[in-house]
């Protein structure tokens, strides 16, 4: 395919049109206009670095999930061994033994390891999608007029955050149930996770459809508007979710009967979810402004925005999950809370 350029000058601006010469299926020469989808040439170095980082993060998360499953299973087996000399998992925050008196609360039905792992599937998909998005940007570097890599990186980098958000929603919903703190939710707990995840799915679909339409030369405006709608849904739903998280942080000690009886691992988990939520929320707001500004806007014309306000925050989300896993994760909180239920039942028997 041979490219040629033509400069068109009007009273208000000057534009450079690019045309591609090629041979059609009938063997006849054709000339068609092509579009340069970037206002810059995507950097290979930056895209390669983040493709590798997200790939390593994916592997690390898999390892953490496997270890968490094994650790929980081992801990549960140890509780069944009479006279086993082990650290008491029912210590309060000050190191004293928890009150042996029976508690009055609505116990949560224990989740199997398999069900807990499924709550992390969206996070894994999101991290892998980020990796794929930056690989697509590497491909775009060699052909700025290729539609496929441009659409691929646009869709992948847009929807990855929504996938990660789904894991945050599901972890938080389970945490509220385990801690018997469902009263902090603005909507009934049996609907809250469904509402948040449904909003997330709608956001993913809108952004994916908009990103696909964006590649059609005659539908740039329509594609951008659909993406904007998806990002608005994501920001609104996430904003409500962050408010709920803050409410839980402030009221947990008052509404949950378990906080003085178990370790602080639940707090580490919730702080991780909170800061990951803030990162995704900031990223989504910047992307929303980007598409509202359009192709003539400042953000979309400067590549550093995609790395500072998308790549870095999304990678930090993965890193926060990885580094907090040993200190406080859903598997550990599940074990503590369900074991406390067993202890309470034994005390009341």
Dump pLDDT digits (tens) for 263-297.
888 999 999 999 999 999 999 999 999 989 988 88
CB 174 within 8 A of CB 250: no
**Structure-token pair, residue 157:** 């980098």
Helix %, strand %, coil % for the chain, to 5? 65, 5, 25
Supply the Cα-derived Rg of the chain in whole angstroms.
25
Return the pLDDT at 62. 97
For residue 104, the enclosing domain spans 44-348
**Structure-token pair, residue 190:** 């049996």
Return the pLDDT at 258. 81
Question: pLDDT per residue over 191-233, tens digit each?
Answer: 787 888 888 889 989 998 888 887 665 667 888 899 999 999 9
Residue 30 shares a structural domain with residue 56: no
Q: 9 - beta bridge partners?
A: 14
Whole-number Å distance between alpha carbons of 309 and 283: 5
Residue 149 shares a structural domain with residue 9: no
Which DSSP state fits 4? E
Is residue 311 situated within a structural domain?
A: yes
Contact partners, residue 112, CB within 8 Å, separation at least 6 = none
Residue 48 shares a structural domain with residue 153: yes
Stated pTM of the model? 0.83
Q: How confident is the model at residue 97 (pLDDT cuts 50, 70, 90)?
A: very low
Is residue 39 situated within a structural domain?
A: no
Residue 38: exposure state from Cβ atoms within 10 A (0-12, 13-18, ≥19): middle
Residue 19 shares a structural domain with residue 75: no
Q: How many domains does the chain have?
A: 2
Is residue 313 situated within a structural domain?
A: yes
Residue 79 shares a structural domain with residue 203: yes
Return the pLDDT at 187. 76
Is residue 137 situated within a structural domain?
A: yes
Residue 220 shares a structural domain with residue 252: yes
Residue 95 shares a structural domain with residue 223: yes
Residue 91 shares a structural domain with residue 145: yes
Is the pLDDT reported for residue 51 higher than 90? Answer: yes
Length of the chain: 349
Question: pLDDT per residue over 250-271, tens digit each?
Answer: 998 888 888 887 788 899 999 9
Return the pLDDT at 263. 83
How many Cα neighbours within 13 Å face the side chain of 327? Answer: 12
Is residue 174 situated within a structural domain?
A: yes
Return the pLDDT at 195. 86
Q: How confident is the model at residue 160 (pLDDT cuts 50, 70, 90)?
A: very high
Return the pLDDT at 98. 46
Q: Which of 53-57, 236-240, 267-271 has the highest mean pLDDT?
A: 53-57
Residue 124 shares a structural domain with residue 216: yes
For the domain that residue 156 is a member of, what is the CATH number? 1.20.1070
**Structure-token pair, residue 86:** 């082990």
Residue 284 shares a structural domain with residue 344: yes
Residue 120 shares a structural domain with residue 96: yes
Question: pLDDT per residue over 100-153, tens digit each?
Answer: 445 545 556 778 889 999 999 999 999 999 999 999 999 999 988 888 899 899
Residue 15 shares a structural domain with residue 133: no
Whole-number Å distance between alpha carbons of 186 and 195: 11
Question: pLDDT per residue over 12-41, tens digit each?
Answer: 444 444 555 556 666 666 655 556 778 889
């Amino acid at each position: 395919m041979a490219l040629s350029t033509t400069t068109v000058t009007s009273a208000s601006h000057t534009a450079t049109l690019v045309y591609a010469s090629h041979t059609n299926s009938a063997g006849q020469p054709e000339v068609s206009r092509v579009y340069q989808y970037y206002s810059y040439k995507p950097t290979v170095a930056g895209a390669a670095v983040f493709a590798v980082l997200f790939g390593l993060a994916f592997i690390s998360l898999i390892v953490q999930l496997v270890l968490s499953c094994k650790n929980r299973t081992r801990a549960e087996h140890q509780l069944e061994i009479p006279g086993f000399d082990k650290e008491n998992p029912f210590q309060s925050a000050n190191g004293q033994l928890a009150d042996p008196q029976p508690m009055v609360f609505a116990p949560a039905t224990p989740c199997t390891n398999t069900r807990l792992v499924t709550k992390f599937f969206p996070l894994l998909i999101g991290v892998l999608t980020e990796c794929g998005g930056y690989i697509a940007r590497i491909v775009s570097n060699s052909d700025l007029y290729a539609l496929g890599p441009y659409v691929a990186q646009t869709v992948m980098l847009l929807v990855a955050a929504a996938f990660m958000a789904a894991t945050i929603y599901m972890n938080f919903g389970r945490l509220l149930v385990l801690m018997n703190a469902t009263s902090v939710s603005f909507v009934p707990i049996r609907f809250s996770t469904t509402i948040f995840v449904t909003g997330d799915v709608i956001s993913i679909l809108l952004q994916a459809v908009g990103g696909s339409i964006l590649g059609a030369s005659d539908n740039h405006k329509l594609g951008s508007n659909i993406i904007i709608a998806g990002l608005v849904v994501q920001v609104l739903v996430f904003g409500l979710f962050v408010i709920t998280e803050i409410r839980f942080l402030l009221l947990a000690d008052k509404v949950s009967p378990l906080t003085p009886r178990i370790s602080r691992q639940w707090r580490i988990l919730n702080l991780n979810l909170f800061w990951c939520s803030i990162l995704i929320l900031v990223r989504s707001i910047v992307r929303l402004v980007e598409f509202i500004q359009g192709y003539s806007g400042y953000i979309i014309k400067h590549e550093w925005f995609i790395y500072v306000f998308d790549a870095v925050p999304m990678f930090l989300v993965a890193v926060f999950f990885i580094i907090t896993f040993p200190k406080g994760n859903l598997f550990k909180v599940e074990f503590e809370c369900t074991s406390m239920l067993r202890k309470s039942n034994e005390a009341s028997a």
